[in-house]
Amino acid sequence: MNIGLFGGTFDPIHRGHLALARAARERCNLSRILFVPANVPPHKQRQPLSAFSNRYAMIALATAQEKDFAPSLLEAPEEFDAGGMRAEKMRVAKPNPAQPNYTIDTVMRLKQPFKKADRLFLLIGIDAFADIAKWHQAEALFRECEFVVASRPGYSLADVANALPASLRPRQEVTRPFQKQAATGDLVLKGVTIHLLDEVYQPISSTTIRQAAAAGKPLGRFVDPAVADYIKKTGLYKGR
């Protein structure tokens, strides 16, 4: 079975996230994609986030019509209970609530019940991938899963290869011919498999959505209607 793991703050989840997930499902024949809202994202520990419950609820609403998509409690805080569905019921260990949620730890928890033939695919945007070498135990991530990266104009195949951790990065003379080649197709190197999606880029940012919501502007072009309605009814980003 091919499983997709899509992590992030999802504050809020938007159409760009869903477009990436749908394209990844088709490209990599994914049987299921888990959307994992981070409780304590390492790179945003000082940035205020909406409550985990709100972000989880918006994911549930946005994915309700996609039978292969599901919100995940892999990084849920200990006190969170989504209608009685505790994270313990997922047969994975709970994260330490005092520690940031490192992706490698989430991956290892998710893979605990995997069978030998199961494959894990990590979904990520190319802007985030550009900093992948700085991630906690980045080399281990490439051993444990394949990457599905949503590309966008301005990135080359060489940029993708040069973003890899030093131990996995090809020599410059190898990547130089790819500097003018768009980041598309598959990049397969020793210990690295990256699937690049070049037709899913949407210029949407969660920051823009929060600002629009705070100003009382319509959100329909950014998010699923059910998510827009949730934000409006809860006043989630008012006062931001």
pLDDT tens digit sequence for 110-122: 999 999 999 999 9
Domain 2-234 listed as CATH 3.40.50.620: yes
**Distance, C-alpha 41 to centroid of its chain:** 12
pTM (two decimals): 0.89
Quote the pLDDT of residue 182: 87
- β-strand partners of 192: 189
Q: Yes or no: say if 137 and 104 are a contact pair by the CB < 8 Å rule.
A: yes
- β-strand partners of 82: 85
Q: Backbone phi, then psi, for 90, in 5-degree steps?
A: -90, 0
Give the residues of the chain that fall short of pLDDT 70: 41, 43-47, 81-99, 240
Helix (H) / strand (E) element for 227: namely helix 225-234
Quote the pLDDT of residue 149: 97
Q: What is the pLDDT of residues 14-65, one digit of tens each?
A: 999 999 999 999 999 999 999 999 987 676 555 678 999 999 999 999 999 9
β 185-189/146-150 pair status: unpaired
Residue 116 tokens read as: 């030998």
Q: What type of residue is 162?
A: N
- Which of 99-103's residues contact partners 24+ apart within 8 Å by CB, and which partners? 99/40, 100/40, 100/41, 100/42, 100/45, 101/7, 101/38, 101/39, 101/40, 101/41, 101/42, 101/75, 102/42, 102/135, 102/136, 102/137, 103/7, 103/135, 103/136, 103/141
Quote the pLDDT of residue 107: 96
- β-strand partners of 2: 119
Query: What residue segments make up the domains of the chain, in order of their start?
Result: 2-234
Quote the pLDDT of residue 235: 95
* Cα atoms in the 13 Å half-sphere on the side-chain side of 158: 12
